[in-house]
Amino acid sequence: MSIIEVKNLTKKFGDFMAVDDISFSVEKGEIFAFLGPNGAGKTTTIKMLTTLLDPTAGEVKINNFNLKKERDNVRRSFGIVFQDPSLDDDLTAYENMEFHAILYGYKKAGRQSRIEELLKLVDLWDRRKELVKNFSGGMKRRLEIARALIHTPKIIFLDEPTVGLDPQTRNHIWSYIVDLSKKEGVTVFLTTHYMEEAEKMADRVVIIDHGKIIGVGTPQELKERTFTESLEEAFLKLTGSEIRSEEANSMDALRTHAKVWGRRK
């Protein structure tokens, strides 16, 4: 039994078919990469899998729980690190961890030691009392990974986990992820535009474009099938080299604003 089972998942926004009848499964313990060009339907799919968006049609089972009918059980089964930081900058690292623990119903008795254990794993225990607003991008990402694991989820979703980070930090983040996933036995579901990372890290890959799945398999299989030398080439062959038009949405405006003004206020 797969830890994630997706059958005929569809999402329509008015007339626009964002996700078109896709089916795939993710096995327990694997590192699974979900790839696709901009506007392919990746983010929409992840939002649906993580209960942020209701599917138009299809069936999803996560950790053997039905997505529609057993939402809270599904939510307890995964942790997620969003593309944009979802920490509270005005709180300390410890407080952010604690809030998550309380939100997920972690019993008071074991809370402190669990938080300590995870913060130590990502080398942030010494900075637990500092406000997150003073953390670097890499530190924030590490904190979010630690936080996502507090409630011992079976799956961790990583949406572009290393974007905007320098190579050393990226390398570190990956070792944390692989380490933690092995230690905690967690299945990793990630999206990324860094093909070399996907090629190095992923056990299996699904490529989505225009809302449909256009490639499934191990990085090796995809390279063989497309007669290419790297996952990146295989990806480009399957999706075409044309630059995808994107519309700036309010997210981009908010990101720019945040960059210019430092943080939200």
Judged by the rule CB under 8 A, the positions of this chain that interact with another protein are 47, 50-53, 71-73, 75-76, 78, 80, 82, 84-91, 95, 99-100, 102-105, 131, 250-251, 253-254, 258, 264-265
155 or 222: CB nearest another protein: 155
3 or 87: CB nearest another protein: 87
Least gap, CB of 96 to another protein (angstroms) = 8
Q: For CA atoms 130, 257, 159, 64, give the dihedral sign.
A: positive
d(CA 235, CA 64): 31
Q: What are the tokens at 143?
A: 């904190």
88 or 196: CB nearest another protein: 88
Least gap, CB of 52 to another protein (angstroms) = 5
Least gap, CB of 154 to another protein (angstroms) = 14
Backbone φ, ψ for residue 107 (5° rounding) = -60, 140
> Would you call 54 helix, strand, or coil by DSSP?
coil
Q: Which has the closest alpha carbon to 93: 116, 120, 127? A: 127
> Would you call 155 helix, strand, or coil by DSSP?
strand
Looking up tokens 């092995």 gives 182
Least gap, CB of 130 to another protein (angstroms) = 12
Helices vs strands, H then E, count in the chain: 10, 10
Neighbours of 244 (CB within 10 A): 13
Q: Do 198 and 192 touch, CB atoms closer than 8 A?
A: yes
Look up residue 92 and give its DSSP letter: B
Least gap, CB of 42 to another protein (angstroms) = 16
43 or 162: CB nearest another protein: 43
98 or 197: CB nearest another protein: 98
33 or 87: CB nearest another protein: 87
Least gap, CB of 76 to another protein (angstroms) = 5
Least gap, CB of 261 to another protein (angstroms) = 11
Least gap, CB of 258 to another protein (angstroms) = 6
100 or 204: CB nearest another protein: 100
75 or 223: CB nearest another protein: 75
Q: What are the tokens at 138?
A: 């890499």
Q: What are the tokens at 54?
A: 């209701």
What stretches of the chain adopt beta strand conformation (E)? 4-13, 16-26, 31-35, 57-62, 65-66, 78-81, 155-159, 187-191, 204-209, 212-217
